[in-house]
Amino acid sequence: GLVSSEMCIRDRGKQLSQPVAVDFSAGITTRVTTNSEWEIGDLVGISASEIVGTTSTPKYTNVQYKADADGESTTFFWAGTGQDEIAYTSENEMVFTAYYPHTDNEDGIIEANTATTEEEQKKIDFLFASSKGKYIEGNANQKINFAFQHKMLSLIHISEPTRPISI
C-alpha cells in the first residue's frame, strides 16, 4: 500500500502556482493546394490532454487559435472566443493535437462541397498535426511546434447498374 501511493504522488508532477500559457507555431509539410503557406488569420483548432502515469486526461478541446503572419511557418495566438487559453498547470507531459480549418460544429461533422478552384479547395484541405511537450521551469523556449500534413479519408463507392429480370 505505502509503495504504490508513493509512486502515484511521484507520477503526478509538480503543480504550478500559476498557469503558464502554451506557445504554438506550425509549418505545413503536405497540402492539396499548391500554396503550402499560412495566411494571417487562418484558424486552427487545438486540443490538449495531460498525461499522468499511463492515463491521458483531456484538459482542452477544440480551442481556436489564429495564425499571426503569412508564410511557410507562423506562430498562432489564442483567439479568445470563450474557451480558456491552453496552459500548463503542472510539470506533467501534455499531448497536443491540432487541425485546420477550424470548425466550431459541436457535433464534430465537417461538411464540404466538391471544390473546383484552389480557393474552394483550401476550405476542404484538411490538415492535422500532433506534438508532445511539458513545462520545464527556467526554459525560455517551450514552444510547441506542429508540422501539419494533409489528412483525409478516402471514401470509394462502387455501384453496379441493375437490370430488370424478365420472368
Q: State pLDDT tens for residues 69-119.
A: 998 899 999 998 888 999 999 999 999 999 988 887 655 555 555 555 555
How many whole angstroms separate alpha carbon 15 and alpha carbon 91? Answer: 6
Question: How many Cβ atoms are within 10 Å of 74's Cβ, its own excluded?
Answer: 21
* pTM to 2 decimal places: 0.76
Question: So what's the pLDDT on residue 125?
Answer: 72
